[in-house]
Structure 1
Amino acid sequence: MDPQTDGDGRLRHLLSLQGLSRAQLETLLRRAQGLTAHAYGGIGARHALAGKAVCTLFFEPSTRTRSSFSLAAQRLGADLLNFDASTSSTTKGEADIDTLKTLEAMGVHAFVVRHRQDGAVAMLARAAEPGTVLLNAGDGRSNHPTQGLLDMLTLRQAKGEDFSRLKVLVVGDVKHSRVARSDLHALRTLGCGEIRVCGPAALLPDDDTLQGCTVGDDIDAMLDGVDAVITLRLQRERMVDGLIASLAGYHRDFGLTAARLRLAADDAIVMHPGPMNRGVEISDEVADGLQSRVLRQVANGVAVRMAVLEALLGD
């Protein structure tokens, strides 16, 4: 049985965007857009999760995801517990499930989990008590569903709700990127007109991740006329030596520069999930340029995570 949904097909947890319907994605995106005014402060939404306890259970480092989930929970009035694996009993050998059960016993209602292992969050969801909510904040190279949602919200804000007329390019280390997998699931579900994927062959997956995509290794050709470019961070901590010859060579062959961006549509936008390796996958001029939506993605992360927490924990 899919741990993400209940017997009636309603979301119990958010583990992946794969399997969610277009209607479910659009409902979350519309609600996130409606919450943007509350995402930056104020008390207008602080009644929504009053009395609920949310724990950020992170077994990997994070800046954007952890901070925005923390703010999202607080903006909705939840009690927040930040868990740091490096200073917890996990360093003494405590199993992840025992950590979950210990915090459940304290009355925690929702766990926002980042983990280095594929499938770890789904495993915890299966072990959770009825009524406990698990939200995947990134597991291994598999899924990062709220990043996928905030990327789609950023794209909708710039280009409108009709994705059928859009050409979107995802470029870089798709093989190791949980962001890429979630973005591709969402783009397909939302009916994106053309999805292009570009990167060195050694950094492209050999499974069904690229289903329905136009794939190539000539970034100049792939940029032609696209409406949005999603550049990906080189996941050097997840790759073995030898997959790329050098960082300088990668930037030469696949880096997004101002000259290359001119090959895209005049009003094309640029996105990056962060953290950016400037001068590797993206140049300073592009990262800080007028077409960049990198900081808009960060801002949208709070609203999207508010929408997800409200959907799963709200009355």
Structure 2
Amino acid sequence: MMKAVGSAESQAERDIEAAMLDARALFGEGARYAPVSGGISNSNWRVQSACTSRDWFVKIPGNGTEMFIDRVAAMDASRKAAAAGLGPKIYEDLAHQGVEINDFIPDRRPSTHADFGNPANRAAAIAAYRQMHALPALGLTKTVFDMIDEHHVQMAELGAPVPRHAEWIALNTKMARDAMQASGLDLVPSFNDPMPGNFMIGADGSIMLIDYEYASMNDRCYDLGIWFGEMFYTPEVEAELIEEYFGRVTPEIVARVTVHKALADVKWAAWSMVQLKVSALDFDFYKYGVWKLMRFQQITSDPAWKEQLRRL
């Protein structure tokens, strides 16, 4: 249900109303708003003009997100993706406040895990990743190792919970870091955040990407590894997608993607513990982080783990 400015009942609604007033030149008088569900970092809104059929998507930064999101870099990535037709048009009226405004895209819908059980949708996602990786270079370079280091410093500063198997995690993360850095990183503009809702599917089956706040120059295999992990793909489907992206499947590429999949779990587990301490959103960050580490331990406990590191 759309609400009018002046009817706010919560702090989140007061925040979006303040943003709408600040950007009244864009939205016009009498614009209304409603929440958009799905995010676990920020509060998201649909704003509708009173005099036209025009709608916008507005993202209000969540509490504490400035600790790990560079809003200037996010705008840079959003701008370049929009110029390439990969992402929706972006408006910079409130960019100085860190508030992101995009065109609302009603002719597309957010994907689900079930959508990517369909081979055609998987191929469309790979096409979107190829387009992302071909964008002009982004202003921010932030590898998975940079992300992990950043979150571990934040965890210590906040007194966040430390995993029971912290030494095992640290040892295997260091092994992966040493092997990956020895082989060299293939840095490209990377999306870094494959939540299903960030893949917007059109009636023609094509995919646009939204939400570039974690985008950076990073290894292209991180993007594939984190997406494979998010979707719980079998080794057979992973091989299919590696071939779709690279045109071939080799033990070296499989190893690189698998190691990045494990590292992504370390990153997002640490992110979860930071969010546990700073976020005001109603989400079980502790459970999410523990689950990520369970999968990291599953990958790194496999006898194939050391062989994968050698193949990098």
Note whether the superposition's TM-score is higher than 0.5. no
Q: Aligning the two structures, in what range does the TM-score lie when normalised by the shorter sequence?
A: under 0.3
Q: Higher helix share goes to which structure?
A: 2
TM-score (norm 1): 0.27
More relative contact order, 1 or 2 (CA 8 Å, 6+ apart): 1
